[in-house]
Amino acid sequence: MIIRHDKTLEELQELYASPLLELIAKSNIVHNRFHDPGEIQVCSLISIKTGGCPEDCKYCAQSSRYQTSISAQPMMQYEEVISEAKKAVERGATRVCLGAAWREVRDSKQFDEILRMIKGITALGIEVCCTLGMIKDHQAEKLKEAGLYAYNHNLDTSENFYKTIITTRTFKDRLNTLDIIEKANISVCSGGILGMGETIHDRLELLLTLSRRNPHPESVPINRLTQIPGTPLEEQPHISGWEMIRAIAVARIVLPKTMIRLSAGRIEMTCEEQALCFLAGANSIFAGEKLLTVANTPIDRDDRMFRILGLRKRPAFVKGGKYDLVS
Q: Is 152 in the site for ligand SF4 (CB under 6 A)?
A: no
Nearer to ligand SF4, 95 or 169 (CB): 169
Q: Is 262 in the site for ligand SF4 (CB under 6 A)?
A: no
Q: Is 291 in the site for ligand SF4 (CB under 6 A)?
A: no
- Residue 108's Cβ-count burial label (10 Å; 0-12, 13-18, 19+) is exposed
HSE, CB side, 13 Å, CA atoms: give it for residue 79.
0
Nearer to ligand SF4, 122 or 157 (CB): 157
Q: Is 171 in the site for ligand SAM (CB under 6 A)?
A: no
| Among residues 51, 92, 120, 133, the one that binds ligand SAM under rule CB under 6 A | 133
- For residues 271 and 258, what is the distance between their CA atoms, to the nearest angstrom? 23
Question: Which of 4, 33, 43, 57 is the catalytic position?
Answer: 57
Q: Quick check: is 60 catalytic?
A: yes
**CB of residue 70 vs ligand SF4: minimum separation in angstroms?**
10
| Among residues 27, 41, 63, 219, the one that binds ligand SF4 under rule CB under 6 A | 63
Q: Quick check: is 97 catalytic?
A: yes
Question: Which of 43, 53, 130, 277 is the catalytic position?
Answer: 53
35 closest CA partner among 327, 322, 280, 326: 322
- For residues 250 and 8, what is the distance between their CA atoms, to the nearest angstrom? 12
Instruction: Print the binding letters for residues 15-54 with ligand SF4: x by CB under 6 A, - otherwise.
Output: --------------------------------------x-
Q: Provide the H-helix boundaries in the chain.
A: 9-17, 20-34, 78-90, 109-122, 137-145, 159-165, 171-183, 200-211, 241-254, 271-280, 299-309
Which residues have C-beta within 8 Å of that of residue 261, sequence separation ≥ 6? 41, 43, 191, 219, 220, 221, 222, 282, 283, 284, 285, 286
**CB of residue 301 vs ligand SAM: minimum separation in angstroms?**
19
Q: Is 85 in the site for ligand SF4 (CB under 6 A)?
A: no
Q: Is 223 in the site for ligand SAM (CB under 6 A)?
A: yes
Within a 10 A sphere around the Cβ of 311, how many other Cβ atoms? 19
Q: Is 101 in the site for ligand SF4 (CB under 6 A)?
A: yes
Task: Note the residue count of the chain.
Answer: 327
Q: Is 92 in the site for ligand SAM (CB under 6 A)?
A: no
**CB of residue 119 vs ligand SF4: minimum separation in angstroms?**
24
Is the peptide bond between 315 and the residue preceding it cis, with omega within 30 degrees of 0? no
DSSP lists the bridge partners of residue 284 as 41, 261
- For residues 306 and 298, what is the distance between their CA atoms, to the nearest angstrom? 13
Q: Quick check: is 189 catalytic?
A: yes
User: Which of the residues are catalytic?
Assistant: 53, 57, 60, 97, 129, 189, 261
- The contact set with ligand SAM (CB under 6 A) reads 59-60, 99, 101-102, 131, 133, 153-154, 156, 193, 223, 225-226, 228, 264, 292
- The contact set with ligand SF4 (CB under 6 A) reads 53, 55, 57, 60, 62-63, 101, 103, 133
